[in-house]
Amino acid sequence: MTMAPTSPPPILLLPEELLIEIAAAKPQKSHAAQPPEWVLSHVCRRFRRVVTAARTLWTQVVVDLCSDSSTELFRLYLERSAACQMEVTLRAMNNDLEAPKGLQYLSPHVGRIARLTIAVNSHEVLDTVLASFRNVAMPSLQHLEISSKYDIDLVDNDLSPLQLRIIFSFKIACCTLSFPPPQWMVGLTHLDLRGYPYPAPENSGIFRRITKELPSLVYLYVDLSTVTFISGGGIVSQSLTHLDLELHESDEESEALSNELSSFNTPHLTHLGLHGTHGDQLSLLFNSTQPAQARFPAVSSLTFTHLDRPVVCTCEVEGSYRDHYKPIAAPLKLFPVVSSLTLVDECFTPRIVSDLLGHGSQPWPLLDVLALRPKPSEAEKLYTALQDVVRWKRSQQESL
């Protein structure tokens, strides 16, 4: 009896170009145990030949400097990426780290690193890792990110020996920023400051210095949750187009949000994100008649996020002082060209929606996107508010 020849599984017949595209289609932030290029390179000999020869698949790597297996994998990525520019994340969370494994593999390839992220748990470990980059030219570096598990003071001595060109993107977490900035920071277009360690007065006015001494910034994220950056006023930027602020958790007064924004003069800003807000603050902000109303003439995208600090919002506690919500009567005064509004976990969301879109509301002529993620406790109320809005719009023969 003659057996019919069996056909190979369809996946083995994939064209090489498609196989490479599949491996390259991994999400930017993947939590998979092994990246696709590594998995596919172990399927069969053909897959291994194709994937290992595709240099661009081996240009993004996360390395645990305290792990022998991780550093050996790092060596393979450096070899297989050949001369391609790389995105490298170095993690060193062990206080006993004296001679980080794997950094000896990195030295010949430092010049082709385009994005470098360093995550440590102490100043001493950071100094050990940075020692591998000192006095070595890094002509390709465009993005530098440094984060620490615990607060550290990132002084000039840490970064000044690095031979950096002007880079465009810098992110730090739980690290202080010294001024005046080093020369390589002067041309920054993207700056991200998270978990700034020290409270005022040490950093009083630092926000003003950022916008003054980094004149090319177009994107700025500042965590105000531990320090008041805005003290001193007079914040002016002609270059900023995208601004995100994580607000101070002690700014409990409803008027605080409007008062802080009154010090901004950012005529070219198109996106404003405020994280850590309350719904009553938004009602006062939209009704504001402060001078700030003329300082956001180009903002078309607004995002407000309630960060649940503390976990139970004070406005939901019986007898809370948060009874300052004011019906939104004239939302166009402060942001006249808004076309997109996003509310995430904001208290009073149903009332805000009713005020903006319901019976008696003043239209926002440019608003065409309203994205809502209510608190679970307000989901049913929001559903009812939206139904009322739809009925009202239909009765007026208007589209939503």
pLDDT value, residue 305:
92
For residue 282, is pLDDT > 90?
A: no
Higher per-residue confidence, 117 vs 287: 117
For residue 70, is pLDDT > 60?
A: yes
Asked, as a colleague might, if the bond just before 180 is cis with ω within 30 of 0, I would say yes
For residue 186, is pLDDT > 50?
A: yes
For residue 204, is pLDDT > 60?
A: no
Q: Which residues of 130-166 are buried (b: 16+ CB within 10 A; e: fewer)?
A: bebbeeeebebbbbbbbbbeeebebeeebbeebebee
Of 1-5, 10-14, 74-78, 167-171, the range with the highest mean pLDDT is 74-78
For residue 87, is pLDDT > 90?
A: yes
DSSP string of 129-165, one letter each residue: HHTTTBTSEETT--EEEEEEEEEE---HHHHTTBEE-
Give per-residue pLDDT as tens, 297-352. 899 999 999 876 544 566 655 555 555 677 777 656 778 888 999 999 988 899 88
pLDDT value, residue 301:
95
Average pLDDT for 353-367? 79
Average pLDDT for 79-83? 92
Residue keyed to tokens 């405020």: 274
For residue 46, is pLDDT > 80?
A: yes
d(CA 174, CA 90): 17
Domain limits of the chain?
189-400
d(CA 350, CA 304): 14
pLDDT value, residue 31:
55
Instruction: Report residue 159 as tokens.
Output: 């970064």
Average pLDDT for 66-86? 90
For the chain, how are helix, strand and coil distributed in percent, rounded to 5?
30, 20, 50
Are 52 and 79 in contact, with CB atoms under 8 Å apart?
Answer: no
pLDDT value, residue 104:
82
pLDDT value, residue 84:
94
Provide the pLDDT confidence category of residue 292 given band limits of 50, 70 and 90.
very low
d(CA 126, CA 51): 34
Rounded to the nearest integer, the mean pLDDT of the chain is: 78
Provide the pLDDT confidence category of residue 180 given band limits of 50, 70 and 90.
confident
d(CA 206, CA 177): 9
Percent above pLDDT 90 for the chain: 19
Give per-residue pLDDT as tens, 115-128. 999 888 887 888 88
What residue ranges in 19-99 does DSSP mark as E strands?
Answer: 60-64, 86-92
Give per-residue pLDDT as tens, 372-395. 999 888 899 999 999 988 888 888
Distant-in-sequence, close-in-space partners of 91: CB < 8 Å, separation ≥ 6? 62, 63, 64, 65, 66, 119, 120
For residue 251, is pLDDT > 50?
A: no
For residue 105, is pLDDT > 90?
A: no
DSSP string of 207-246, one letter each residue: HHHHHHH-TT-SEEEEE-SSS---TT--EE-SS--EEEEE
Provide the pLDDT confidence category of residue 293 given band limits of 50, 70 and 90.
very low
